[in-house]
Structure 1
Amino acid sequence: MKKKYEVIAESIQRWIQEQAREQDTRQWLDKGIRLPAVRALAEQHQCSISTVIRAYEWLEERHLVYAIPQSGYYAVQNGTDVDEAEWNEPLDFASAAPDPRVFPYSDFRHCVDQAMEKKQADLFLYGTERGLPSLIQLVQRQFADYQVFARIDQFFITSGVQQALAVLALMPFPNGKQRVLLELPTYHNMPSLLSGLNVPIVGVKRSLNGLDWDELERQFREGDIKFFYVMPRFHNPLGTSLTTSEKKHLIRLAMRYDVYIVEDDYLADLEDNSKQDPLFSYDTEGRVIYLKSYSKILFPGLRIGIAILPPKLTTAFNMYKKMLDIDTSVLSQAALEVYISSGMFAHHGKVIRSRYAARMLKVHEQLDAYPEFTPFKEAPRTGGEHTVLPLPSNIPLKALLARLEQHGVMAGTTERYYPEGLHGDKMLRLNISNVPKQRIAEGMQIIAEQITKLHVVQY
């Protein structure tokens, strides 16, 4: 026999379906279909308010509705409870793109339509050098949830984070220095970007045990370092994060040796630990430039990046941005503004975090299931969307990837995360954004088997 809240939840689902048939999408409220108030449903079904709330929570867990504080509950357009068990494609541990199966396409199309209607005048104008003022104000409030607090005049909207990185690489800094210091491994496009811009680069090793702090301090002291590009949270490709004490130590070193830090917080939206704050939150001296992308939580084609600059850098950044990135797509900015202000972004973020967290938990369970298998034993247990498996030095990577592909598993390595001509420890990079939770154990078993077989063959 069904519980009372399940009966109410099914009634709400039927009501949503009826409303969707009767209403034209363009006539919907900005936030979508608003659902009946909790008190009204409690009276209708002759039950307690807590029972109705449990019904809405049941629907939220299935990503069919979402809540907006002080506003109410809303339906997810075309919301579906995706059955991951039905995914029969090859197991793709290689792709770092967001999961297209859980993206609310109709919701975002609705936001684009709203943006076209509300921002008609802006679409035919140039001159939004720093970004749409209304979006900047909204993002400023949103970033408080990430523990990032800054003045409006410190915010810049760019055509993706890579555009912001190009501006930072070319513009002069108050310290008058020339070189950019990179973690090795690092974001795979960064070395080629800097080389193409003729910006001199140097590197410092970052392993599963963390940064090489002695070498880092030496470079800060002697290396003519303009800025240090770092991913403190969910490092790409390693997946590891700096501790709070390490973040504070890094800022102290930057202050001591007059070096700026560029913090790429590209996976901030996947953080589920409220105690993990960004590097920017510990900066009291204007040493940290904060960058955030929406490509991982939404989709890469949106091409929206956010840069927060210390006050001393805003004038130069604005000048160079006008030369390289005069106008970030107003339509993309306006659509993102509607998506955030409607509450849809917060709901989608919750969906993605819960799905990715469930998949990473399965990965960790499999890593722990092989306690004597060194690559699994030494793999970092982190959140986010990826991890790495340290491999024996004699494993031929191309042969391993070919074997895995023959068994229906695609994976990546960390080779492309180094500048051309440099190599680090051999590692297999596993991303879970496009792997169904129910098949992770199957994929991990195949990976363990093929590494073992190939390692034995080498001997």
Structure 2
Amino acid sequence: MKKYEIIAESLQRWIQEKLQQQGPQQWMDKGIKLPAVRVLAEQYQCSVSTAIRAYQWLEQRHLVYAVPQSGYYAVQNGVGAEDVDWKEPLDFASAAPDPRVFPYSDFRHCVDQAMENNQAELFLYGTEHGLPSLIHLLQRQFADYQVFAPAEQFFITSGVQQALAVLALMAFPNGKRQVLVELPSYHLMPSLLEGLNVPVTGVRRTLEGLDWESLERQFSEGDIKFFYVMPRFHNPLGTSMTLAEKKRLIKLAERYDVYLVEDDYLADLEENTKQDPLFSYDTKGRVIYLKSYSKILFPGLRIGVAVLPAALALSFGGHKKMLDIDTSVLSQAALEVYIRNGMFAHHGKVIRSRYAARMQKVHEQLAADPEFRPFATAPRTGGEHTVLPLAGNMPLGVLLSRLEERGVIAGTTERYYPQGTKQDKMLRLNISNVPKQRIGEGMRIIREEIVKLQSGNVK
């Protein structure tokens, strides 16, 4: 065993001893700071580079993380492993982030630091753009997503939902009123538009992609103000557009004077560095870019970001200020500390790694039974979810009930289609709350119950 591995294993044992001494609650309150690199080198009579390599070895396994100008800390979920002894139902329906891997103590520290650093701002109303220091930080972060824009085109919103409401209400330079959505799409979007009395229409998107003929017809003949679209990890299908499809969509938007609202809500789960957002190919100011922090952190943070073309920024800011003056300064300040300290980058790496490993297990199960049609036709997606296409006569209610009896909770795509529209019958499987070691078991149960219902065995 190499020297750095011996040091790393010794640190792992030390962390576990500290946990047992302090107890989990004290650990959550205080956290565990690890020895400085030079101290570690002196302790183990090794070079500084060997000590650094030991920490890097632990960091690659999500057991520690580095905070710039502060040092290394133990990850709260320090064992870094999945839950082998998971006893609860296998929940393939929940789309919430995995609470078992959220670093509560880290974020609590950020909230405390935000309150200390931003005392004055807490007693003032902010600007319609958001906390300036956070926006400048997001400019650098968004460059990693290939989203480049000046600070005045960034807006911090109370979740992406608020950004969508503002966009639906405000006038656009094209003078049009109707909003086009994908079918299926984000399940709250149609009801949001109807509640705001904004006319809405839809275009079908299947596992094969958009209905391009219908899309161009509606762009050319309709009164389409903007098209709300999820190019990456579509919800609920899980599929992503190809580069050719993204460029084709932008060309159509330019030709027919339509804006595109890109909801990139799972950008942080992208592993393919060549998968850039629609925004990165826009040269004519046609794309509005939306990003949420609900999936990578937690929904209660209520932080979304909108990047507007210059021609829309003034109107968007005015409408947003009318709705809520400013997004929570405390949430913004806490997120700023979390990003600036390097915690967000580390947490994103952990989540990305875990979700990718879980999706790989799903793909392995799908590939293991090529004769089973739902598995054979399921898309091999990234992100956090995929779908299983089902026969039109499959009794979904019965299937869900039988799965639940066997400890598996699954969802369907029904709520993602507005009432009265054509629906494709599918199970929606989300892996964010299913341990990797149990995915095979869950997929086996799902297959067995589908087969029984297909064969008419409904006892």
Query: TM-score, structure 2 length as denominator?
Result: 0.93
Matched residues in 1 for 2:70 and 2:119: separation?
29
Matched residues in 2 for 1:110 and 1:210: separation?
44
In 2, are the aligned partners of 1:163 and 1:325 still within 8 Å (CA)?
no
Secondary structure of the equivalent of 1:261? strand
Matched residues in 1 for 2:76 and 2:201: separation?
49
Q: 1:420 deviation in Å?
A: 2.1
Secondary structure of the equivalent of 2:261? strand
Matched residues in 2 for 1:94 and 1:407: separation?
15
Quote the residue 2:99 is aligned against: 100
Quote the residue 1:238 is aligned against: 237
**Change in 2 beyond 3 A, CA 1:32/1:225:** farther
Matched residues in 1 for 2:418 and 2:163: separation?
20
Q: Does residue 143 of the first structure (1) align with residue 142 of the second (2)?
A: yes
Matched residues in 1 for 2:430 and 2:448: separation?
19
CA-to-partner distance for each residue in 1:163-186, whole Å, 9 max, x for gaps? 000000000000000100001000
In 2, are the aligned partners of 1:65 and 1:73 still within 8 Å (CA)?
no
Quote the residue 1:192 is aligned against: 191
Matched residues in 1 for 2:29 and 2:230: separation?
43
**Change in 2 beyond 3 A, CA 1:158/1:457:** same
Quote the residue 2:259 is aligned against: 260
**Change in 2 beyond 3 A, CA 1:14/1:439:** closer
Quote the residue 1:224 is aligned against: 223
Q: 1:80 deviation in Å?
A: 1.8
Q: 1:323 deviation in Å?
A: 1.5
Quote the residue 2:451 is aligned against: 452
Could you tell which deviates more after superposition, 418-427 or 173-182? 418-427
Q: 1:421 deviation in Å?
A: 2.5
In 2, are the aligned partners of 1:147 and 1:281 still within 8 Å (CA)?
yes
Q: Please show how residues 34-433 of structure 1 align to structure 2 within 5 Å.
A: 35-37=35-37, 41-42=40-41, 44-47=43-46, 51-67=50-66, 73-76=71-74, 78-81=76-79, 82-433=81-432
Amino acid of the structure 1 residue aligned with 2:233: F
Matched residues in 2 for 1:255 and 1:9: separation?
55
CA-to-partner distance for each residue in 1:258-293, whole Å, 9 max, x for gaps? 000000000000000000000000001100000000
Amino acid of the structure 1 residue aligned with 2:366: L
Matched residues in 1 for 2:337 and 2:189: separation?
31
Matched residues in 2 for 1:393 and 1:376: separation?
16
Matched residues in 2 for 1:246 and 1:73: separation?
45
Q: 1:129 deviation in Å?
A: 1.7
Amino acid of the structure 2 residue aligned with 1:149: F
Q: 1:50 deviation in Å?
A: 5.5
In 1, are the aligned partners of 2:147 and 2:280 still within 8 Å (CA)?
yes
Q: 1:35 deviation in Å?
A: 4.3
Q: 1:47 deviation in Å?
A: 4.0
What 5-or-longer segments of structure 1 have no aligned partner?
A: none
Matched residues in 2 for 1:184 and 1:27: separation?
46
Matched residues in 2 for 1:209 and 1:422: separation?
18
**Change in 2 beyond 3 A, CA 1:77/1:128:** farther
Matched residues in 1 for 2:171 and 2:215: separation?
22
Matched residues in 2 for 1:174 and 1:352: separation?
40
Matched residues in 2 for 1:32 and 1:152: separation?
37
Q: 1:72 deviation in Å?
A: 7.6
Matched residues in 1 for 2:457 and 2:308: separation?
51
Matched residues in 2 for 1:281 and 1:185: separation?
25
Q: 1:48 deviation in Å?
A: 5.3
**Change in 2 beyond 3 A, CA 1:94/1:313:** same
Matched residues in 1 for 2:337 and 2:445: separation?
44
Matched residues in 2 for 1:414 and 1:191: separation?
15
Quote the residue 1:6 is aligned against: 5
In 2, are the aligned partners of 1:232 and 1:265 still within 8 Å (CA)?
yes
In 1, are the aligned partners of 2:410 and 2:427 still within 8 Å (CA)?
yes
Percent of counterpart pairs with the same letter?
Answer: 74
Matched residues in 2 for 1:53 and 1:392: separation?
55
Q: 1:88 deviation in Å?
A: 1.1
In 2, are the aligned partners of 1:234 and 1:267 still within 8 Å (CA)?
yes
CA-to-partner distance for each residue in 1:183-215, whole Å, 9 max, x for gaps? 100000000000100111111110000011111
Could you tell which deviates more after superposition, 56-65 or 295-304? 56-65
The aligned length equals 452
Matched residues in 1 for 2:175 and 2:325: separation?
25
Matched residues in 1 for 2:29 and 2:117: separation?
14
Matched residues in 1 for 2:377 and 2:233: separation?
17
In 2, are the aligned partners of 1:62 and 1:80 still within 8 Å (CA)?
no
Q: 1:11 deviation in Å?
A: 3.6
Matched residues in 2 for 1:103 and 1:248: separation?
37
Q: 1:310 deviation in Å?
A: 0.1
Amino acid of the structure 2 residue aligned with 1:33: K
Secondary structure of the equivalent of 1:84? coil
CA-to-partner distance for each residue in 1:338-364, whole Å, 9 max, x for gaps? 100000000000000000000000000
Amino acid of the structure 1 residue aligned with 2:33: I
Could you tell which deviates more after superposition, 324-333 or 381-390? 324-333
Q: What RMSD in Å do the two structures reach over aligned CA positions? A: 2.3
Secondary structure of the equivalent of 1:183? strand
CA-to-partner distance for each residue in 1:99-154, whole Å, 9 max, x for gaps? 00000001111111001111111111113321111111111111011111000000
Q: 1:49 deviation in Å?
A: 5.4
Secondary structure of the equivalent of 1:394? coil
Matched residues in 1 for 2:379 and 2:263: separation?
20
Matched residues in 1 for 2:247 and 2:39: separation?
51
**Change in 2 beyond 3 A, CA 1:299/1:26:** closer
What 5-or-longer segments of structure 2 have no aligned partner?
A: none
**Change in 2 beyond 3 A, CA 1:439/1:26:** closer
Matched residues in 1 for 2:230 and 2:245: separation?
12
In 2, are the aligned partners of 1:167 and 1:317 still within 8 Å (CA)?
yes
In 2, are the aligned partners of 1:418 and 1:424 still within 8 Å (CA)?
yes
In 2, are the aligned partners of 1:131 and 1:328 still within 8 Å (CA)?
yes
Q: 1:55 deviation in Å?
A: 2.0
